[in-house]
């Protein structure tokens, strides 16, 4: 049982209650998004694990990112879909804090994984002769492990601070999942210290990966511009621009919600920007990072051919 001085045993997630007449449409829309997200990311993980052609650092990182985003979506979508379908918007006190902790930890981990991926591409494009010696198996594993540890350690600090607050007033949270600022608004304690420390923790654990990501891609773009072949530049820019779009959406929406003063972020903007980084990156990841890649397409085609062959043998 999570420790907290409170008489509240559950919260009410208002979600998209203001769009009452659109609840069915929203349910079907988010259900399709969730199914596509889980299917696409799970497929990438399976391909990376089972196809030896994809046992390279780049696909190792992509596999981790896909696994993370499948977990990320599964932490939010099922509860949101249930609320839209049954109109039951309640969530237990423990369940709410657990959802926020997993969300925040996975979010911070994704910041680090995006940084690792940008560093991997920086080495491949700007330092190709040193790539094989630098990106060894142990190095890749250590980078991924550090990313996961960084995310969960940072949010553990915030979780300890949040659990010191008292919740005995309103139970209604104007959001579709348990997020940091909506939780703070429901506390009847003085949250100024928690907010200040939370801001510092967020800067320490997410700002360095952001700076390193931007720095890596600055070098990558500069290197691409020096490629003499127009075809080579176009191909490189196609891949990097897709990644940069997702990174830009992810970080810009994070900054809108978490970095700006609360008074400058209205409720509608908060919900919209949070939808950008909770829905779009996990949905776009299989298409932008992987399914547009020839090696992944070949691996998928080979798996399908094997399944068809096995089915034909069983039928005969």
CATH of the domain at 233: 1.20.1070.10
Q: Is residue 25 part of a domain?
A: yes
Q: Is residue 313 part of a domain?
A: no
Q: Is residue 99 part of a domain?
A: yes
12 membership: H or E segment, kind and range: strand 10-13
- Write down the pLDDT at residue 238: 67
Query: Can you spell out the DSSP letters for 194-259?
Result: HHHHHHHHHHHHHHHHHHHHHHHHHHHHHHHHT-S-HHHHHHHHHHHHHHHHHHHHHHHHHIIIII
Of 42 and 7, which is predicted with more confidence? 42
Q: Is residue 170 part of a domain?
A: yes
User: Cα Rg for the chain, rounded, in angstroms?
Assistant: 22
Q: Is residue 57 part of a domain?
A: yes
Q: How many CA atoms lie within 13 A of 130 on its CB side?
A: 8
Using alpha carbons, list the distances in angstroms from residue 32 to 29, 35, 81, 249, 274: 5, 5, 11, 21, 18
Of 291 and 100, which is predicted with more confidence? 100
Using alpha carbons, list the distances in angstroms from residue 207 to 113, 203, 251: 13, 5, 10
Q: How confident is the model at residue 41 (pLDDT cuts 50, 70, 90)?
A: very high
Residues contacting residue 250 through CB under 8 Å, at least 6 positions apart: 110, 114, 276, 277, 281
| Range with lowest mean pLDDT among 32-41, 217-226, 267-276 | 267-276
Question: What domain range is 184 assigned to?
Answer: 10-288
**CB-based burial label for 195 (10 Å; 0-12, 13-18, 19+):** middle
Q: Given a cut of 80, is residue 212 above it in pLDDT?
A: yes
Q: Given a cut of 60, is residue 265 above it in pLDDT?
A: no
Q: Given a cut of 90, is residue 121 above it in pLDDT?
A: no
- Write down the pLDDT at residue 45: 92
Q: Given a cut of 60, is residue 260 above it in pLDDT?
A: no
Q: Given a cut of 80, is residue 1 above it in pLDDT?
A: no
What's the whole-number mean pLDDT along residues 25-34? Answer: 92
What's the whole-number mean pLDDT along residues 179-199? Answer: 86
Q: Is residue 295 part of a domain?
A: no
Distance of alpha carbon 18 from the chain centroid: 27
- Write down the pLDDT at residue 202: 81
Q: How confident is the model at residue 315 (pLDDT cuts 50, 70, 90)?
A: low
What's the whole-number mean pLDDT along residues 136-144? Answer: 94
Of 72 and 301, which is predicted with more confidence? 72
What span, in angstroms and rounded, lies between the C-alpha atoms of 190 and 167?
11
- Write down the pLDDT at residue 165: 86
Q: Given a cut of 70, is residue 132 above it in pLDDT?
A: yes
- Write down the pLDDT at residue 24: 86
Say which residue the tokens 């090696």 belong to: 295
Q: Is residue 2 part of a domain?
A: no
Domains contained in the chain, number: 1
| Range with lowest mean pLDDT among 96-105, 134-143, 273-282, 290-299 | 290-299
| Range with lowest mean pLDDT among 10-14, 60-64, 193-197, 295-299 | 295-299
**CB-based burial label for 95 (10 Å; 0-12, 13-18, 19+):** middle
Pairing relationship of beta strands 172-173 and 10-13 according to DSSP bridges: parallel
Q: Is residue 234 part of a domain?
A: yes
Pairing relationship of beta strands 172-173 and 90-92 according to DSSP bridges: unpaired
Of 255 and 222, which is predicted with more confidence? 222
Q: Which residues pair with 91 in a beta bridge?
A: 11
What span, in angstroms and rounded, lies between the C-alpha atoms of 92 and 95?
5
Mapping DSSP to helix (H, G, I), strand (E, B) and coil, where does residue 277 land?
helix
Residue 176 has phi, psi (to 5 degrees) of -100, 0
Write down the H helix ranges in the chain. 23-50, 57-86, 93-126, 128-134, 137-162, 180-186, 192-225, 230-254, 267-285, 294-315
């Amino acid at each position: 049982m999570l420790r907290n001085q409170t008489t509240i045993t559950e919260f009410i997630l208002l979600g998209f209650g203001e769009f009452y007449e659109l609840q069915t449409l929203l349910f079907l829309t988010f259900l399709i998004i969730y199914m596509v997200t889980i299917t696409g990311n799970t497929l990438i993980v399976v391909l990376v694990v089972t196809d030896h052609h994809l046992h390279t650092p780049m696909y190792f990182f992509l596999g981790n990112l896909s696994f993370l985003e499948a977990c990320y979506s599964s932490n939010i979508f099922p509860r949101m879909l249930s609320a839209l379908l049954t109109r039951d918007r309640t969530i237990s006190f423990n369940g709410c804090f657990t959802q926020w902790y997993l969300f925040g930890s996975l979010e911070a981990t994704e910041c680090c994984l995006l940084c690792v991926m940008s560093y991997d591409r920086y080495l491949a494009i700007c330092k190709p002769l040193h790539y094989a010696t630098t990106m060894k198996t142990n190095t890749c594993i250590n980078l991924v492990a550090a990313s996961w540890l960084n995310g969960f350690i940072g949010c553990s600090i915030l979780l300890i601070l949040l659990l010191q607050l008292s919740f005995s007033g309103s139970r209604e949270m104007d959001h579709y999942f348990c997020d940091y600022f909506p939780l703070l608004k429901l506390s009847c304690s003085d949250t100024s210290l928690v907010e200040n420390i939370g801001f510092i923790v967020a800067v320490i654990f997410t700002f360095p990966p952001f700076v390193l990501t931007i720095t890596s891609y600055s070098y990558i773009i500069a290197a691409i511009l020096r490629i003499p072949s127009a075809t080579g530049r176009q191909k490189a820019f196609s891949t990097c621009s897709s990644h940069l779009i997702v990174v830009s959406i992810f970080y810009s929406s994070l900054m809108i919600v978490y970095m700006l003063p609360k008074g400058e972020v209205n409720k509608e903007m908060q919900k919209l920007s949070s939808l950008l980084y909770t829905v779009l990156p996990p949905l776009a990841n299989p298409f932008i990072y992987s399914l547009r890649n020839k090696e992944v397409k070949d691996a998928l085609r080979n798996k399908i051919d094997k399944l068809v062959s096995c089915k034909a043998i069983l039928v005969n």
